[in-house]
Amino acid sequence: MKEIQIYNSYSGKKEIFKPIHEGRVGMYVCGPTVYSDVHLGNCRTFVGFDIIYRYLQHLGYKVRYVRNITDVGHLEGDADTGREDKISKKARLEQLEPMEIVQQYMNGFHEMMKIFNVLPPNIEPRATGHIIEQIEMVQAIIDNGLAYEQNGSVYFDTLKFAEKYGVYGKLSGRKIEDLLTETRDNLKNQDEKRHPSDFAIWIKAAPEHLMRWQAPWSVGFPGWHLECSAMSTKYLGEKFDIHGGGGDLKFPHHENEIAQNYGVCGHAPCNYWMHGNMLLLEGKKMSKSDGNSIMPGELFTGQSKHLTKAYSPMVVRFFMLQTHYRSTLDMTDDALQAAEKGYRRLMEGQKVLQELSHPGNGKAGDLDKEINSLIDLAFNDMSDDFNTPKALASLFELVTKINSLKGGQLSLGDVTAETLERLKQTFNDFIFDIFGLLTEDFASSGDGVVDGLMNLILEMRQTARTNKDWGTSDKIRDVLKELDIVVKDSKEGATWSKA
């Protein structure tokens, strides 16, 4: 199997990927909290890990991909004062059952993932379905002396953890000494925690709190960080390969997750931590709570002050591929327009390629070699920490070759049949399997009537052209153009597409 390198956020270095069990990968990615509609920033993370999932599978790994749904335990605002779970709050505001809220937004999330052609995970566990496991985990942490109970709530003892293992803060680059000195600044918070950095793993429910379960300490609900520890352990084991999520989850979420796993079994949950970078809008992180966000729906309709036109889901997906997952991506209308053109060029190249047929007796010269090395390069780039923009660059260079082969600037006689076949296979693999792009048929409305009419019109225009009746020919082209239909003439005849 091809060797790949992964940037490990925990070590801060690229490392050669070695799965725990040969040929298999266990991957856990933090999913959304379903208390409102997903925005585009959320989508970027899941598209990013979708590509990783797809590429690992393409390489032949058997991947168990677990992505959770957070449907309880995610506290609003300051956990010390607010004490209200996001779902619960939304339910109260909207006078709905919490599960109704969860269902509504979970459905919306799934729909959006489908629109972006994000593959569903193998397991999509929900926090509320794993309360027992979480309670057991709390108990285990208490038994190991790393958590304490206070008035029915249970807190993780970060100081003890830091003393015992010395790793608290490593993922997010925090220093334990800083945590210690924090104490005096926080005396004002007359809360139940022994130390400000301690965090709740079980929370006693206030009387008005809707989501609640019976536990040894109180009737309450689990802390946010706990679910991921419990569910990843349940489905992937105490130690698995890759844990991913958005970069904004590093602290406190992932840091605390690591602490919890140590608290239960004395070691970290996974070997590789991967974090996707943020999607920016107007140079600032896209964030719902700051009001700086675009919803996918706004993008698809173009109904946003940030946009001049609508963009299709695949254009957006392509747009995301043009940037490495670890870089921030600034979304602008200009950039989307460029992506749209690029996406179409790539897909058109793919179409042209698949229509090429080899005349036989091709020779393996420089062109042949060049094509093969561009293909190799594309795979090597993907294997180097999933460098999609670089792989894409190679594909675009190949698109130029493909167009030249079609246009006659290059000859298929200089390419072997095997190479052409390999090229076709590579494009299919990359575009559909790895990048997960879908064809948006610009040359068809999906409506047989329109296609039929268009064929008729183009035939009539061809007749006019044959008779050198340029007036008629150009009129047809001009009128179609006003209808946003572009006619392209070539040696084989005219084709059309929507602008």
Between 26 and 246, CB nearer to RNA: 246
Between 248 and 451, CB nearer to RNA: 248
Between 56 and 127, CB nearer to RNA: 127
Q: How far is the CB of 326 from RNA (least distance, A)?
A: 7
Which of 245, 263, 313, 436: binder of RNA (CB under 7 A)?
A: 245
Between 265 and 393, CB nearer to RNA: 393
Q: How far is the CB of 337 from RNA (least distance, A)?
A: 6
Q: How far is the CB of 340 from RNA (least distance, A)?
A: 8
Determine, following the binding rule CB under 7 A, whether residue 462 of this chain makes contact with RNA.
Answer: no
Q: Which two tokens stand for residue 225?
A: 């960080």
Stretch that binds RNA, among 156-164, 167-175, 259-267, 423-431 (CB under 7 A): 167-175
Stretch that binds RNA, among 32-40, 265-273, 361-369, 422-430 (CB under 7 A): 32-40
Q: Which of residues 86-115 bind RNA (CB under 7 A)?
A: 86
Between 160 and 250, CB nearer to RNA: 250
Between 59 and 395, CB nearer to RNA: 395
Q: How far is the CB of 102 from RNA (least distance, A)?
A: 13
Kindly give, in sequence order, each residue whose CB lies less than 8 Å from that of residue 263, ignoring residues fewer than 6 positions away: 140, 141, 144, 146, 147, 156, 161
Between 357 and 490, CB nearer to RNA: 490
Distances (CA, A) of 226 to 59, 121, 232, 402: 33, 20, 10, 52
Determine, following the binding rule CB under 7 A, whether residue 266 of this chain makes contact with RNA.
Answer: no
Determine, following the binding rule CB under 7 A, whether residue 308 of this chain makes contact with RNA.
Answer: no
Determine, following the binding rule CB under 7 A, whether residue 493 of this chain makes contact with RNA.
Answer: no
Stretch that binds RNA, among 15-23, 251-259, 305-313, 413-421 (CB under 7 A): 251-259
Stretch that binds RNA, among 212-220, 272-280, 418-426, 450-458 (CB under 7 A): 272-280
Distance CA 479, CA 279 (A): 40
Distance CA 236, CA 4 (A): 21
Stretch that binds RNA, among 112-120, 307-315, 321-329, 431-439 (CB under 7 A): 321-329
Q: How far is the CB of 398 from RNA (least distance, A)?
A: 10
Q: How far is the CB of 96 from RNA (least distance, A)?
A: 19
Determine, following the binding rule CB under 7 A, whether residue 327 of this chain makes contact with RNA.
Answer: yes
**211-221 exposure pattern, b = at least 16 Cβ within 10 A, e = fewer:** bbbebebbebb
x/- binding map, residues 344-363, to RNA, per CB under 7 A? -x--x---------------
Between 214 and 308, CB nearer to RNA: 308
Q: Which of residues 174-203 bind RNA (CB under 7 A)?
A: 174, 178
Which of 312, 337, 380, 445: binder of RNA (CB under 7 A)?
A: 337
The CA-based dihedral angle spanning residues 166, 167, 172, 175, taken in that order and rounded to the nearest 10 degrees: 0
Between 26 and 169, CB nearer to RNA: 169
Give the count of beta carbons closer than 10 Å to the beta carbon of residue 443: 15
User: Longest Cα pair distance anywhere in the chain, in angstroms?
Assistant: 92
Distances (CA, A) of 209 to 99, 131, 193, 324, 381: 13, 16, 21, 42, 50
Distances (CA, A) of 441 to 22, 190, 314, 344, 435: 40, 62, 11, 10, 17
Q: How far is the CB of 407 from RNA (least distance, A)?
A: 4
Stretch that binds RNA, among 51-59, 98-106, 235-243, 389-397 (CB under 7 A): 389-397
Nearest alpha-carbon partner for 171 in 15, 385, 5, 12? 12
Q: Which of residues 132-161 bind RNA (CB under 7 A)?
A: none
Determine, following the binding rule CB under 7 A, whether residue 253 of this chain makes contact with RNA.
Answer: yes
Name the residue with tokens 């006019």.
464
Which of 19, 125, 269, 276: binder of RNA (CB under 7 A)?
A: 276
Q: Say how many residues touch RNA, by CB under 7 A.
A: 84
Q: How far is the CB of 5 from RNA (least distance, A)?
A: 11
Distance CA 341, CA 334 (A): 11
Q: Which two tokens stand for residue 67?
A: 């992505």
x/- binding map, residues 463-492, to RNA, per CB under 7 A? --x----x--xx--x--------xxxxx--
Between 20 and 393, CB nearer to RNA: 393
Distance CA 402, CA 231 (A): 47
